Every structure is written in structure tokens, then in C-alpha cells.
Amino acid sequence: MLKNWWHNTIGYQIYPKSFQDTNGDGIGDLKGVTAHLDDLVDLGINVIWLCPVNKSPMKDHGYDISDYEEIDPMFGNKGDLIELIREADRRGIRILMDLVVNHTSSEHPWFQRALEDPDGKYGKYYIIREGTDKGAPNNWRSIFGGSAWERIGDTNRYYLHLFTKWQPDLNWENPALRQEIYEMVNRWLDLGVRGFRVDAISHLKKDFSAPDLPVDGADGLADGFAFFTNAEGIGVFLNELKENTFQRHDAMTIGEVDEGLPPETLEKYIGENGYFSTIFDFCHSIFHVNSAKWKDQPVAMMDEIKKLLFEKQAMVNGRGLLCNYLENHDLSRTVERFIPENEIDFYSSSLVAGINFFLPGIVFLYQGQAIGMRDFRKERLDEFRDPTTFVLYEEQIRNGMTAEESFDQINRESREHSRTPMQWNSAPNAGFSTVEPWFAVNPNYREINYETQKKDPNSLYAFYKKMIALRKSGDFQELFIYGSFDPLYEDEPGVIAYRRSYDSRSVAVINNAKPDEAALTLPGTVKSTLLSNYDTIVINSGIIHLKRYQTVVLELL
């Protein structure tokens, strides 16, 4: 593999709205990010991905952009971004923005003009079709529920929106639109942004060849995913995007490419000349230990996660680097998803942290993950803030759930749980803001906060620091990025373990992801202990005795 600057990424995703408010309006801002750069240096971070900060009506919290050139005043201005880039650069941290180009906001001037004149220049920037005698042009369901088509006024025309109706899809078939996007992307790169997390990018191409699909829900609609996810021909757009922008700036890009990528196309996506630097591995994101399926079998769930993680690595097999992450702004917190409530503590939380941290690829953390922020369950639906939460609530009821069941499901798995304000210290509002924040702070902030954990050498934060330091250490950095990957104890229930080797070094990462102890025959002689979440590691005549939720990294001879 050709070595590249971004291969040593220890990434950190920031949801600016919830990171740090500096001007007392209850909303996080760019200055708040700059203010915490030294804290990120302390943790060991070298790349930041900022969730969208462009001008937006915030119907999807910034994933609905109404002006690609401007920063939303809620977050500050372009000067603040330039300042952030400069200050980050001084500390060896690169800034990635979120590139949202599958759709714009319905308030984007392009779309406003398209509505006025669907046959004009801007009408061709979007996907506008005549309705049929049955109504919408086809029966695709939007990813966020309801029809993927919205009627334009009282005309017989509809526009496509794969997400909310406030997010009309752009028409990538139109070369003029593509050119406009490339120029915009290059302007941000010229400004000093070092790359992008590329939002919803697998949906750029839509395949309209099929007639209506068989209805599969009470809403009378159909799941059209296969027709608008990595559809035949998408590579032409992705390649052109890369050649006209990212490649020219040696940018780092992380594609939000959903599951289901055909294995044989992997090289095209993340190979040496791939469309992106890397893509997220989403395989663990479907699991929740409190879901009906896994409620009573958390260990079986871990084994299923292991299976998928390992299958993914076997599939990639040196053809590129995946982006390994556990948390983001679309998922509830990991310990809540992976560990039964009564088992959540330092040991299980640090175990979870270690599961995929040393797999081949790069790593990305989400704000609050390193201090073990938890979900904050609500009493009432209206305590949530995301319009899609309410759409989902109604949709689940339409599909047969009671109101209570629908609320419980959302309260358990809502993506909004990860969006509560960052817990910096035990001051009012967790040090996030001097006024009541836009979204309620988790009341556990007096126990779970950055300041307390930073002082405590035995905290989860301290453990994350150790993991990061190990990944970055001169002796092992290349091993963890480029080393070979071989599963260990694959059939051992609840054990997620693997061996990494590079040059003459070899390391075993062993995670006992269950509440019972485990005794395992070591795969070689231990040279040294590189990491453990317990003070002691018991090894007797070649057998390692792991405590509940113990995670260890051992160097082997």
C-alpha cells in the first residue's frame, strides 16, 4: 500500500451545535471548537471532522444546506473557520468539513428558482418529474419515511427527496450542476480545509428503469434502496468529483457509503486510486442489546458483531483502509447499544472502546465517547428536537405499533441521544453554555464529565488516551495501520480477538466481551503488555485468564 499522510489519522467528530457555546445563546459554535483544541491535543487527536456548519434552516440540523458558500450565523462566520483551521494547523490537527451534495435545503436559492421555473436552468439542478394517474412518479419510500416525492404546489410535478421533504435531491446527471459543485468544493479546499466526510454519497445516482415496486408497508410505498444506493453508473460521478477536486488538493475523504457495497467494487471506492480515501464500516450500527432480538443474549450479539467485523476485514484484505468508528451523530451511545444496563461500568466501557480500535484501518471517535457519555432518555416525545424523530414516530404507529411502543423504541434507539451537549465539567449546563442549551444536558454530567476524568488516571478518558498513544507510538504505529490481520479464538463465545503482525513485530488484541471470565491458550510467548483495562493480567503456563470485560494488547515474541 502506498503510504499517505492521512493513514495515521486519529479522528474526532464534532457536532458543533452541541460542543461548546461561547456567546451565550445556548448553541455550540466554531469559536467553541477552537477553544477546545488543546483538549483534543491532550487526547491525541490529529484530524477533526466538523458536522455541517454551512448556512441552513436546520430542518436536518445542517444536513439541509441553503448556502454552500457561507457559515450559518448560529456557528459564527468564515473568519471563525479560518481561525479554527489556523489554530488547528499549529497543533498538527487537520480540519475536515461535511460535504452534503446529494441534496440541498429546499430554501437554497437554486431550489427556489427551480420551483418558480421547473423547465429553466435551476429546474434541471433537481429531479423533477411529472406525476402519473396514481400520483407520485413512483412509489419509493424516503429514507426518513413517507413518499420520496413531494408535489410542487397544485401542479402535476413532483420533486424527489430521498431524505426529508426539506432536502430536495440534486440532479447529478446534469453536467452544469456537477461543475458548480466542483467549484464550490475547491473553494473550501483552497481555504485550507484538508478534506471532507462525504454525506449520503452512495445515493447520487438514481435508477428509474423499474416501474412501481411491490408495496411492502402499510403506507402503500416500497423500499427503493437498491435503486438509489450505489446504483449502476455512480462511479462516473464519484470519479469525476474526485478528479476535479479532492485529488488536486491531496485531500482526505471519508465516504458515507452505506452497507451493501459489492465486494468486487471495493478497490474502486478505497483502493489506491479510489473515489475516497476511506469509507466508514457501519456493520456494528444495527445492533442494540435492548432490541427485541438481542435482549436476552448479549454474548450472542457480540459474536454476531465479531462475525461481521471480521468478514469486513477479510473482504478488504489490504485493498484499502476502512474507517473504524463506534459512535456518530446518527447513533445512540455505544455502551448503551452493546452492554446490558446493569453491566455498564469502567471495565465494560473500556472493553467496548477496544473492540475495533486496533483493527486495520484508521480510527474515528465522536465527541463525548472518550468520557463515556450516556443516552438521556426522555419522559415525553416533545423533548426530542429532530423533525425526523416525529416522522418516524408517526410512521411506526401507521405500521402497527401503539403510541407507547413507538415512543419506547425511539427513546431506546434515537440518533438524538448522541446530540446532547458535551459534558465538560460539573458547572451548570455542564460547562457547555451559560444559558439553557438548545437540547437538554444529560443530568449525569456531575459524575460524567471531561474535567473530572482528565484528573483521574483510572478514568475511561485516561484509557482512551493510552489506546491512542499506543496506536501512535513509533514502534507500533505502522503495525496497527498496515499490519496483517488474523482472527484469534474465533469460535470462543464473547471473545473478540485478533493478531496483527508487521515486519518482525506481532501483537495480540484480546477482548473478553462478556460478564464471565475466560481462560485462553496464548497464541505465542508474551514479550510485553502494551495495554490492559485491569491492573493485572494473569498468565499461567501459556494460559491467559481474563476477567469480565477485560481487554488486553500483548506484544508477542
Question: Which positions touch Ca ion (CB under 5 A)?
Answer: 21, 23, 25, 27, 29
Q: How far apart are CA 9 and CA 32, in angstroms?
A: 22
**By the rule CB under 6 A, 68 interacts with ligand GLC:** no
Q: What share of the chain is helix, strand, coil (3-state, %, to 5)?
A: 35, 20, 45
Encoded amino acid at 245, one letter: T
Quote the least distance from Cβ 281 to ligand GLC, whole Å.
15
Cell match 451548570: residue? 428
- Residue with smaller CB distance to ligand GLC, 31 or 415: 415
Residues 348-407 that bind ligand GLC (CB under 6 A): none
Strand segments (E) across 168-265 = 195-198, 252-255
Quote the least distance from Cβ 1 to ligand GLC, whole Å.
28
Binder of residue 200, out of Ca ion, ligand GLC, none (CB less than 5 to 8 A by kind): ligand GLC
Binding mask 82-101 for ligand GLC (x = CB under 6 A): ------------------x-
Count CA atoms closer than 13 A to 535's CA, side-chain side. 2
DSSP 493: T
Quote the least distance from Cβ 255 to ligand GLC, whole Å.
11
**By the rule CB under 6 A, 53 interacts with ligand GLC:** no
Choice from 6, 12, 49, 63 touching ligand GLC (CB under 6 A) = 63
391 three-class SS: helix
Q: Which of 21, 72, 199, 336 is catalytic?
A: 199
Quote the least distance from Cβ 64 to ligand GLC, whole Å.
7
Q: Is 256 a catalytic residue?
A: yes
Task: Kindly write down the DSSP assignment for every residue of 404-419, as one continuous string.
Answer: HHHHHHHHHH-GGGGG
**By the rule CB under 6 A, 199 interacts with ligand GLC:** yes
- Residue with smaller CB distance to Ca ion, 19 or 358: 19
Whole-angstrom Cα Rg for the chain: 24
Binder of residue 508, out of Ca ion, ligand GLC, none (CB less than 5 to 8 A by kind): none
Neighbours of 510 (CB within 10 A): 26
Binder of residue 336, out of Ca ion, ligand GLC, none (CB less than 5 to 8 A by kind): none
Quote the least distance from Cβ 63 to ligand GLC, whole Å.
3
Q: Is 199 a catalytic residue?
A: yes
Choice from 21, 29, 60, 327 touching ligand GLC (CB under 6 A) = 60
- Residue with smaller CB distance to Ca ion, 73 or 443: 73
- Residue with smaller CB distance to ligand GLC, 21 or 60: 60
Size of the site for ligand GLC (CB under 6 A): 9
Q: How far apart are CA 306 and CA 428, in angstroms?
A: 40
Neighbours of 45 (CB within 10 A): 23
- Helix 175-191 / helix 78-90 crossing angle, nearest 10 deg: 50
- Is 80 in contact with 501 (CB distance < 8 Å)? no
144 three-class SS: coil
Binder of residue 63, out of ligand GLC, Ca ion, none (CB less than 5 to 8 A by kind): ligand GLC
Backbone angles phi and psi of 300, in degrees to 5 = -60, -35
48: which 3 cell numbers?
Answer: 477533526
Cell match 482472527: residue? 487
- Residue with smaller CB distance to ligand GLC, 65 or 270: 65
Which residue's Cβ lies closest to ligand GLC?
A: 63
536: which 3 cell numbers?
Answer: 493485572
- Is 234 in contact with 202 (CB distance < 8 Å)? yes
- Helix 346-355 / helix 460-472 crossing angle, nearest 10 deg: 30
Choice from 67, 83, 330, 413 touching ligand GLC (CB under 6 A) = 330
Quote the least distance from Cβ 415 to ligand GLC, whole Å.
7
- Residue with smaller CB distance to ligand GLC, 256 or 395: 256
- Is 127 in contact with 174 (CB distance < 8 Å)? no
Question: Where would I find the H helices in 18-93?
Answer: 30-35, 37-43, 78-90
Binder of residue 21, out of Ca ion, ligand GLC, none (CB less than 5 to 8 A by kind): Ca ion
Binding mask 130-169 for ligand GLC (x = CB under 6 A): ---------------------------------x------
**By the rule CB under 6 A, 200 interacts with ligand GLC:** yes
Q: Which of 256, 281, 303, 395 is catalytic?
A: 256
Q: How far apart are CA 77 and CA 79, in angstroms?
A: 5
Quote the least distance from Cβ 389 to ligand GLC, whole Å.
11
- Residue with smaller CB distance to Ca ion, 23 or 458: 23
DSSP 259: S
- Residue with smaller CB distance to ligand GLC, 213 or 391: 391
Task: Kindly write down the DSSP assignment for every residue of 123-143, as one continuous string.
Answer: GGGB-EEE-BTTBSSS-BBPT
Site of interaction with ligand GLC (CB under 6 A): 60, 63, 100, 163, 199-200, 256, 329-330
